[in-house]
Structure 1
Amino acid sequence: MDPNASHITEVVDQKKSTKQRLDALDGQSTRLCVAVEAIEEKVETAEAEIRELNIQLEESLMMCAAMTDAVALLPDLREEMEAMRLQLRILQRAVGNGQAPAQEYAPRLKIPEPRTYGGARDAKEVENFLFDMEQYFLAANIEEGARRVTTATMYLGGDAKLWWRTKYADIQANRVQIDTWDLLKETIRTQFFPENVEYQARRALRELKHTGSIRDCENLFRAYAGHPKHV
């Protein structure tokens, strides 16, 4: 065989082999490019989904903040609702009575509480306590009835409290009945007015008729007996 022909054949075979390898590499490169493009599309899709999730997260956080603010406002809303209910009851009562009590529309002021009565057998202290309680009832809009009795007895202390505990036991046993403010006033006067207050008052008034002024008589009258029964 001709050596040149053999060499040419080898060269041709090498070229074919090289071309085949290049074609194979080109095919691999094409497949790699396709794979890269697919990956890029997936990355873009993932980024779009992440952006959407971020938007949803921000919206959720805003909703949570709004709900937190709403929860913080609940106590104020409850107070407003209670105030509205109170106004509604006042209006209903006004419609039922034909007129609206003016004091119920007045601004709310802190009402000073009456002083506790400890059971001192002094006509002036007794009458001052009863007067203060009546003023407190008016200011606090406490209507006549058992509620006044309950409220007034809360301001008894010392010997007066012990006395009322005994009376309350009698009430519970149906031995006595003290269910109105007038009955309670009369019972307190009977229990705590000094036994000789009437005698002392009459005697002092007789003396003042000759030695004192009219104003002195008035002051003495008020001091010894604020209730006509005792003078």
Structure 2
Amino acid sequence: MSAEEGHTSPVEQVIEGTATRGRKEQHSHTRRSKSKGPVAKEHVDTRLTNLEQGMEDVQLAFGRLSDNFEELVQENAEITSVAKEMIEDVGQTFQKELKELASTVTTLKAFVEGELHDLHTKSISLETRLDALCVECRSKHATSHAPSTSTHPTTSGTSNIKVPKPDVYNGVRNATVVDNFLFGLERYFVALGVRDDEARINHASTFLRDAAQLWWRRKYADQGENALHSWEQFKTELRKNFIPHNAETES
């Protein structure tokens, strides 16, 4: 071998060193790969097993969630049904109580109206009685102060005779009843000595009842142009209002 062949240049030495290191590293990498192969496969298998187990757990949880959801839906339907029934019951009860309340109010209203009507009737009756008392007082006063026209002495005890009052007239439309009522009044006035027309009219009105009393109240309220000034006018108006037309007086 020549000196040139036994001596390598620096460049060649670098190239050869690099190639040698490359071969060593490749060999070392190959050895490491062969030594780590079983460990990596076992690690992958473990992860796959864990993943499969996790999927099963997820499926179980999803199944339980589905069951719980169905139970919630069923419970919600039951609650809705019960609530609907309760609302219907409450509505029916409310309607029933409302009707009972309306009936009670109607009854109470009728009762109050009846009481007011009774009070009004009693008030009219009291007013009529008061008028009668006033008329009677005026009549007695006029009689006691009127000069005596009798030329005959009064028999002892005659002034103590009690004159019976005539029957009341309630507005029956019958000629005989009306005439008998007026006749009884005139006999009563004669017995009491009542001669004044105004006193007779006022006193006669106290014996009117029901329809006749209502007629007199209206007549009395219209005192003015239609005022009754004489006893004959009173009798005429009473006959005109309560004796039917073409009626014949019974004998």
TM-score (ref. length: structure 2): 0.39
Q: Under a length normalisation based on structure 1, what TM-score does the superposition of the two structures give?
A: 0.42
